[in-house]
């Protein structure tokens, strides 16, 4: 495997050629199948992964069996690296969303490299900071924002990503199935479909085959920024109590979701 693949991973940014070769030497290429479980919540953390191709979802399962997607990881990002330093166990499940290739890096050998390499240590701090930011945003969205706001924010994020790629930002393709997207946004498929229908009826978005068309960006951005209120009814026509979404405890979310 070429070290160029490692160089693309943000965790290894700025490392010298010889350092990348050391990481390659301790790594194992792993081919995974769709729906393959890479590790389970509470399992001993013996290493972490870098996605070379394909996608992996990180998720929690509630006592009543509901799935909450925490993050979708794609190439060239790493995941579960922070779990190496947290109580020795993974705080969530990881499942391959498609067939792909991952690079597995064992805990013991990697920590030895971190101890000897200041740049790698800095990169680890940056990675942890990004996780803190990501999950602080997740807490805000799940506990403070309505489902319609979460959907709007998701579409805006996809639009910005397409813009960075030089593509039309007003045409977005969902990168998840509706069931997976509902899980990621902390709702159920029926509520997701109903809310998208309301947004289409209001002329905020349109739909063309597998694409979502952004027809009124200003309204979409306004919706994305909205917080929950107790005096109005949301875009789905339901009260803001959202009985389909279990109450969230911010401290619990922070404890379990930050270090993935």
Residue 16 lies in a domain: yes
State the CATH number of the domain containing residue 84: 2.60.120.10
Q: How many domains does the chain have?
A: 2
Last residue of a domain, one of 88, 121, 142: 142
Say if residue 82 is in the same domain as residue 116: yes
For 25-57, what is each residue's pLDDT tens digit? 999 999 999 999 999 999 999 999 999 999 999
Domain residues for the domain of 219 are 147-241
145 versus 251: which is more confidently predicted?
Answer: 145
Q: Is the peptide bond before 225 cis (omega within 30 degrees of 0)?
A: no
For 135-153, what is each residue's pLDDT tens digit? 667 666 666 678 898 899 8
pLDDT of the residue at 117: 86
Residue 252 lies in a domain: no
* Average pLDDT, rounded, for the chain: 82
Last residue of a domain, one of 110, 127, 142: 142
Whether the pTM exceeds 0.75: the reply is no
Say if residue 98 is in the same domain as residue 167: no
State the CATH number of the domain containing residue 211: 1.10.10.10
Say if residue 88 is in the same domain as residue 132: yes
């Amino acid at each position: 495997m070429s070290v160029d693949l490692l160089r693309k991973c943000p965790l290894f940014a700025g490392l010298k050629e010889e350092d990348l070769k050391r990481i390659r030497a301790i790594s194992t290429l792993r081919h995974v199948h769709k729906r393959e479980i890479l590790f389970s919540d509470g399992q001993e953390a013996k290493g972490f992964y870098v996605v070379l191709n394909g996608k992996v979802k990180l998720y929690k399962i509630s006592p009543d069996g509901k799935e909450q997607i925490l993050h979708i990881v794609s190439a060239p990002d790493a995941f579960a690296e922070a779990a190496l330093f947290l109580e020795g166990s993974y705080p969530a499940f990881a499942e391959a969303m498609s067939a792909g290739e991952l690079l597995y890096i064992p805990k013991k050998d990697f920590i030895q490299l971190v101890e000897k390499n200041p740049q790698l240590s800095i990169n680890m701090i940056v990675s942890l900071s990004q996780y803190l930011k990501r999950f602080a945003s997740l807490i805000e969205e799940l506990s403070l924002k309505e489902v319609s706001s979460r959907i709007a924010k998701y579409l805006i994020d996809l639009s910005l990503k397409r813009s960075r790629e030089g593509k039309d930002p007003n045409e977005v393709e969902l990168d998840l199935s509706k069931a997976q997207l509902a899980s990621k946004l902390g709702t159920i498929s029926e509520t997701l479909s109903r809310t998208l229908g309301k947004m289409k009826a209001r002329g905020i978005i349109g739909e063309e085959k597998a694409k979502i068309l952004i027809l009124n960006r200003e309204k979409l951005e306004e919706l994305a920024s909205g917080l929950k209120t107790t005096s109005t009814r949301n875009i789905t026509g339901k009260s803001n109590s959202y009985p389909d979404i279990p109450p969230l405890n911010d401290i619990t979310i922070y404890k379990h979701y930050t270090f993935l």
